[in-house]
């Protein structure tokens, strides 16, 4: 099957971005250099085409009840405009996807899901709609999205669009209009910096991209630095730190799984893990040498393989050779010495905190 193009494809080609397939789409990996783009987000402002992401609208009388059934976080009684991060789980506790849930109203929830999982997620959601008075709409092809991230993002968006967002709290959103078109703006992101995500029609997103990029104050950024940025602040990537075989508890994301809720798919399996403990865990590992641990490399200890690297880099922000790895929970304590095999040689490392760089959210 051919890879799809986002509504901003032509912009990336015009900028001569290095393109590559990702999640069923052909996406820009870098425009100038991953390092420059990464630093632009950390210190100024960058823009990402994230129109490949999926959006599903859940509406109806039992929208809240249905969302609470398929989603691990608790949306009960939330104020309109609030956003939740969490997962959809299989009955055995494995992860279907991680996602954001935007509460528009008691009867309307807007779900944002990973590009690679759009069809899978939508099928899953349809399967579990029986018995609930709700309607599902897959808006993924209709909507585009850009993420504008960095310490200067608030100032720049307000100036260029005339939209007031200074008092938009972290993990909240507002719906507004721009040149007669309905748009949604949230204070969310995947970089560890203050930033915003804008959702709208293809027309609006193209317009917004031009306005932001042509200002000269916003750097186009690709998926290359999107991964290095999220990795530094320990945000998970589905397929690496979360998967059908990795539960949120194993990933260290139990905070987003509210077992106080009386019921949701996967609750029993998670309760079991919370009570009995887990056999494998995602940890941070830092190498003593400059060598770089990467996805798929083996982790060893006491002469045996104890796990695998899920994501690793030499961090751009602070020069550390680090990784996240799924390992035998016996070795998960901070300070435990482990080794990573890189091209036949074993390198010494230590289990460390996963947050390799401090986030700078606006609180």
Partner 1 sequence: MSKIIEGLYYSDSHEFVKVEGNTAYVGITDYAQQQLGNIVYVDMPDTDDEVSKDEEFGAVESVKAASDLISPISGKVIEVNESLVDNPELVNKDAFGNWIIKVEMSDPSELDSLMDAKAYENACE
Number of residues that bind partner 1 (CB under 8 A): 17
Residue 124 to residue 146: CA distance in whole angstroms: 26
Pairing of strands 321-328, 280-287: antiparallel
Window of 3-11, 27-35, 106-114, 154-162 that interacts with partner 1 by CB under 8 A:
27-35
Question: Would you count residue 341 as binding partner 1 (CB under 8 A)?
Answer: no
Q: Which is nearer to partner 1, 344 or 363 (CB)?
A: 344
- Which lies closer to partner 1 via its Cβ, residue 38 or residue 267? 38
Site for partner 1 contains 285 (CB under 8 A):
no
Please say which residue, 38 or 281, places its beta carbon nearer to partner 1. 38
> Taking CB under 8 A as the rule, does residue 291 contact partner 1?
yes
Nearer to partner 1, 28 or 200 (CB): 28
Q: How far is the CB of 327 from partner 1 (least distance, A)?
A: 21
Q: Which two tokens stand for residue 314?
A: 């030499």
Specify burial of residue 1 (Cβ count, 10 A radius: 0-12, 13-18, 19+). Answer: exposed
3-state class (DSSP) for residue 83: strand
Contacts of the segment 26-31: beta carbons below 8 A, 24+ positions apart: 27/52, 27/222, 27/223, 28/220, 28/222, 28/223, 29/222, 29/223, 29/224, 30/222, 30/224, 30/225, 31/219, 31/220, 31/221, 31/222
**For partner 1, which is the closer residue by CB, 23 or 94?**
23
Cα gap 59→111, rounded to integer Å:
11
The token pair that represents 358 in the structure block: 């401090």
Task: Check residue 294 for interaction with partner 1 (CB under 8 A).
Answer: yes
Q: Are 72 and 242 in contact (CB under 8 A)?
A: no
Find the binding residues for partner 1 in span 296-325 (CB under 8 A). Answer: 313-314, 316
Residue 255 touching partner 1 (CB under 8 A): no
Q: Which of 9, 19, 28, 30 binds partner 1 (CB under 8 A)?
A: 30
Report the alpha-carbon angle 134-137-140, nearest 5: 150
Of these, 2, 130, 180, 343, which contacts partner 1 (CB under 8 A)?
343
Cβ contacts of residue 343 below 8 Å, gap of 6+? none
What is the closest distance, in whole angstroms, from the C-beta atom of residue 290 to partner 1 in the complex?
A: 6
68 binds partner 1 (CB under 8 A): no
Q: Which of 33, 76, 126, 279 binds partner 1 (CB under 8 A)?
A: 33
Could you tell me the smallest distance in angstroms from the CB atom of residue 16 to partner 1? 13
* Least Cβ distance, residue 35 to partner 1 (angstroms): 5
The residue (of 145 and 227) whose beta carbon lies closer to partner 1 is 227
Supply angle C-alpha 191, 354, 239, rounded to 5: 70
Residue 232 interacting with partner 1 (CB under 8 A): no
CA 182 to each of CA 155, 159, 175: distance values in angstroms, whole numbers, following the listed order: 21, 19, 7
Interface of this chain with partner 1, residues 99 to 128, rule: CB under 8 A: none
Instruction: Mark the segment that binds partner 1 (CB under 8 A) among 41-49, 102-110, 120-128, 220-228.
Output: 220-228
Binding partner 1 (rule: CB under 8 A), the pick from 139, 160, 292, 352 is 292
Least distance between partner 1 and beta carbon 70 (Å)? 34
Residue 166 to residue 228: CA distance in whole angstroms: 27
> How many beta carbons lie within 10 A of that of residue 159, not counting itself?
12
Name residue, tokens 């609470």: 68
Residue range at the interface with partner 1 (CB under 8 A); choices 93-101, 158-166, 287-295, 352-360: 287-295
| Cβ proximity to partner 1, 156 vs 316, nearer residue | 316
Contact 237, 39 (CB under 8 A): no
Q: Which residues bind partner 1 (CB under 8 A)?
A: 29-30, 33-35, 224, 227-228, 290-292, 294, 313-314, 316, 342-343
């Amino acid at each position: 099957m051919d890879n799809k193009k986002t509504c901003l494809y032509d912009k990336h080609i015009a900028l001569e971005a290095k393109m590559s397939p990702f999640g069923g789409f052909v996406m820009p990996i870098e425009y100038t250099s991953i390092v420059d783009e990464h630093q632009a987000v950390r210190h100024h402002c960058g823009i990402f085409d994230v129109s490949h992401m999926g959006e599903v609208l859940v509406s109806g009388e039992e929208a809240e009840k249905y969302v609470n059934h398929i989603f691990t976080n608790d949306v009960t009684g939330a104020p309109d405009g609030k956003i939740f991060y969490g997962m959809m789980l299989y009955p055995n506790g494995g992860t279907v996807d991680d996602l954001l849930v935007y509460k528009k109203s008691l009867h309307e929830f807007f779900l944002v899901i990973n590009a690679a999982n759009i069809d899978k997620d939508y099928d899953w959601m349809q399967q579990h709609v029986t018995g609930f008075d709700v309607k599902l709409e897959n808006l993924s092809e209709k909507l585009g999205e850009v993420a504008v991230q960095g310490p200067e993002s608030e100032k720049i968006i307000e100036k260029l669009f005339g939209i007031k967002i200074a008092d938009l709290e972290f993990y909240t959103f507002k719906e507004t209009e721009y040149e007669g078109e309905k748009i949604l703006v949230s204070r969310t992101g995947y970089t560890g910096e203050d930033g915003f995500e804008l959702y709208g029609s293809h027309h609006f997103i193209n317009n917004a991209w031009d306005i932001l990029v042509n200002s000269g104050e916003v750097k186009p950024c690709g998926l290359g630095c999107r991964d290095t940025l999220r990795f530094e602040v320990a945000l998970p990537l589905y397929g690496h730190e979360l998967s059908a075989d990795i539960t949120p508890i194993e990933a260290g994301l139990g905070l987003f799984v509210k077992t106080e809720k009386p019921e949701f798919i996967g609750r029993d399996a998670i309760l079991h893990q919370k009570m009995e403990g887990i056999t494998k865990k995602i940890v941070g590992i830092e190498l003593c040498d400059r060598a770089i641990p990467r996805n798929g490399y083996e982790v060893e200890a006491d002469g045996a393989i104890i796990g695998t690297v899920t994501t690793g880099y030499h961090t751009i922000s602070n020069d550390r050779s680090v990784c996240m790895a799924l390992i035998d929970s016996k070795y998960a304590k901070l300070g435990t010495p482990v080794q990573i095999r890189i091209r036949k040689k074993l390198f010494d490392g230590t289990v460390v905190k996963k947050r390799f760089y401090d986030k700078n959210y606006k609180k």
